Structure 1
Amino acid sequence: MKPYQPEELPLKTIEWGQFIDLMGKANRYVARYDGLLQSVINPDVLLAPLRTQEAVLSSKIEGTQATLEEVLEFEADEKASDHLKGDIWEVINYRVALKQGRDSMKERPLSLNSIKRMHEALMQGVRGDSKDPGNFRRIQNYIGSPGSNIENARFVPPSIPVMLEALYNWEKYIHVDDKDVLVQLAIIHAQFEIIHPFLDGNGRMGRILIPLFLYHKEIIQEPVFYLSDYLESNRSDYYDALKEITDSGSWTNWIRFFLNAIIVQAEKNIRKTREIISLYETVKLEIANSTHSQFSIQCLDSLFVQPIFSSRNFEKNSQIPRSSVARLLNTLVENKVLDIAQKGAGRRPTIYAFRRLLNIVNN
């Protein structure tokens, strides 16, 4: 099988009329979601669990098994079965890479260099960390089932010189204003996967770029528009639609699939964000009324940033003095704001869970 030759961007073969029904709706929903984001006083606090859930689901597409609860429990206690530890670190790295991308974009625009740095963070100390993290591949690779070779591979990405040329073209296209920004995003995501510039981690890197591109284009105020929930639930359609581009050269089904993903996911994101905002206001009153503490807001914010935690995590995250931590946590358990997830024994700490938030994120 010969290495694939990607089309140059912007695409000249697109039939824009095929997407009119979905373009308007997708743009409206994203704008509505962004309007809601602008009303969130501290998105870093309120939407932290959604970022972790995105990392869990994007990594799951690549075969990891760790759940949101397992990742949060590990962060609370740093204990997990050996077979899960690698999966958990992949999820944590995903979150780190996404945050690093956002932070670097505050100083300079999205670029191939910033993508290489994110990739290095993504692959740090996990599966694939021996595959040249942070560098574009220098050898030909291919995608196929275990035991297959380049002759019977499912897909052979571009050769190195073609890959480099396609990457520079792709980077240039990021900074172009195409006719519709969401169609442009669909093309950017697919073209990145087709170019397959790294030896490992291309799928996750491509999905990290979805919210970052919308942030780069100032379509959303914070890079928190995540699609992995939809892509994981429709994994075979996701791969089939991408494969159709390289099999037949037709982008229509892929772009329609992607715009539909944006519509469905935006609706879900809007619902979850509203529920989180409402929970925040409800629990603010519950904590103030039950604890009468001057630390009630610090306490509240800490629950949203880390909804599964030990008293040690809680003290560190909230900056509440140790002398007040035990009383506060006991009061919150008594008033059913928190549950005890694991009772402490010996040197092992008690692990607390803020279930109402976890239920929203998991739904």
Structure 2
Amino acid sequence: MPNQEPIKFEEFSSGQWAQQYQYKSFEPTKINREWLWQDPVINTLLEKASRSLAELDAFTLIVPDVDLFIQMHITKEANTSSRIEGTQTQMDEAVMEASQLSPEKRDDWTEVHNYMQAINEAIVELERLPLSNRLLKHTHEILMQGVRGENKSPGDFRTSQNWIGGSSLKDAAFVPPHHDQVLDLMSDLEQFWHNEEINVPELIRIALSHYQFETIHPFLDGNGRIGRLLITLYLVNKGLLRKPSLYLSDFFERNRNSYYDALTKVRESNDIIHWVKFFLSAVIETAGKGKETFQSILALRQEMDTLIFGYGKRAENAQVLLKRLYSRPSISANDAAELLGISHQAASALLNKMVEDNVLDEVTGYQRNRIFFFNRYLTLFID
């Protein structure tokens, strides 16, 4: 890379508008450079965010069978990030089987479960390959399979113009760069992730990267979800997280207007400082909530272990059932019987015992095809 002057946040120019045939598209400034700033608040937020992230990550070492609970973090992220894009699936629905939902809810459910599959496959991929545009394309392909958007080039960067807001290019709220620039801009972004010749803290890099990704909008659909997932993949890839335990979509959804305003302020008035502060604040708050969730999980698990210990001969089956419920807190009597290798009658008796002990709730009120929820656990993931 040629030696280029560092970019100062205070002097940053976000890009320029380029005249296309009947509209103007935004050409963002490339970001694979060294970055400097004078605002001391950024240093303070950066220190707090780094500490909060390290404390959250420590929980993944001390929580037994942590991967069970990570699956619920992933379910929550998939549900929340998809909801920002307009899906209506609730958390209790997300942990059910598609066949247990009314037909009109299944399309949204599929989008959420595609997202869960995309996260899980991407995390596995990161164990052998660094974060790359190729990985993002593969993740996008999984996200878009069999849902609305499946006809919008899943797994490929766009080769036509897209826009954000409005019904057409003429009344769009924002028009990303012309498709001829996408490959070059995404190549610059990928180089920025792995450029060891520049001194830029990882949390600053991913803050800038998320802004840049959403500004490039490299796919025809699904950019919001992939861009938010990029944050977690980056943190795992760089070793700031051992497990994918931090997801910012919940913060972004609760502060949706502020989130979009912060991104827009960069493009319209070059205010990268406001965006970076917003992003670091999101990390601090979300990591803090994540720690509280893990503490609640540990307390609940200890309570459950003590309770199940008194189940005598059924204790072992109850423990197996609980492990399954920690990763997906809803189950039918048929599924429980199959999981445990016991009769439907024995499985129902165990589930009924757990209802009596206020561990599970039966939600259908039916005599047959009953569904049981581990609501005390599920509510830890619902704000």
TM category, shorter: over 0.9
Contact 2:57–2:245 (CA<8 Å) still a contact in 1? no
The one-letter amino acid of 1:115's match is L
Q: Say if 1:320 and 1:140 are closer, same or farther in 2 by CA, change over 3 A.
A: same
Contact 1:290–1:332 (CA<8 Å) still a contact in 2? no
Shift of 1:16: 5.0
Three-state SS of the structure 2 residue aligned to 1:207 is: helix
Match of 2:317 among 268, 285, 295: 295
> Which residue in the other structure is 1:330 paired with?
352
The reply on whether 1:57 has 2:77 as its aligned counterpart is no
Match of 1:197 among 206, 218, 226: 218
Three-state SS of the structure 2 residue aligned to 1:219 is: coil
Residue segments in structure 2 that go unaligned for 5+ positions in a row: 1-22
> Which residue in the other structure is 1:116 paired with?
137
Three-state SS of the structure 1 residue aligned to 2:232 is: helix
User: Separation in 2 of the partners of 1:214 and 1:286?
Assistant: 37
Shift of 1:353: 0.8
The reply on whether 1:259 has 2:280 as its aligned counterpart is yes
The reply on whether 1:353 has 2:376 as its aligned counterpart is no
Three-state SS of the structure 2 residue aligned to 1:165 is: helix
User: Separation in 1 of the partners of 2:255 and 2:169?
Assistant: 27
The reply on whether 1:206 has 2:227 as its aligned counterpart is yes
- Higher RCO (CA 8 Å, separation ≥ 6 residues): 1
Q: Mapping of 1:59-208 within 5 angstroms?
A: 59-73=82-96, 75=97, 78-145=99-166, 147=167, 149-177=168-196, 178-208=199-229
Match of 1:269 among 290, 296, 310: 290
Question: Which of 87-96 and 175-184 deviates more?
Answer: 175-184
> Which residue in the other structure is 1:250 paired with?
271
Shift of 1:344: 3.4
The one-letter amino acid of 1:322's match is I
Three-state SS of the structure 2 residue aligned to 1:322 is: coil
Q: Say if 1:17 and 1:67 are closer, same or farther in 2 by CA, change over 3 A.
A: same
User: Separation in 2 of the partners of 1:194 and 1:24?
Assistant: 27
When Rg is computed on C-alpha atoms for both structures, the one with the higher figure is 2
Cα root mean square deviation, aligned: 1.7
Q: Mapping of 1:223-234 within 5 angstroms?
A: 223-234=244-255
Three-state SS of the structure 2 residue aligned to 1:124 is: coil
User: Separation in 1 of the partners of 2:70 and 2:377?
Assistant: 11
Contact 1:290–1:331 (CA<8 Å) still a contact in 2? no
User: Separation in 2 of the partners of 1:298 and 1:80?
Assistant: 26
Three-state SS of the structure 2 residue aligned to 1:4 is: strand
Three-state SS of the structure 2 residue aligned to 1:198 is: coil
Three-state SS of the structure 2 residue aligned to 1:45 is: helix
TM normalised by structure 1 equals 0.93
Shift of 1:245: 1.4
Aligned residues: 355
Shift of 1:335: 1.8
Three-state SS of the structure 2 residue aligned to 1:138 is: coil
Match of 1:8 among 30, 41, 46: 30
Shift of 1:291: 4.8
The one-letter amino acid of 1:266's match is A
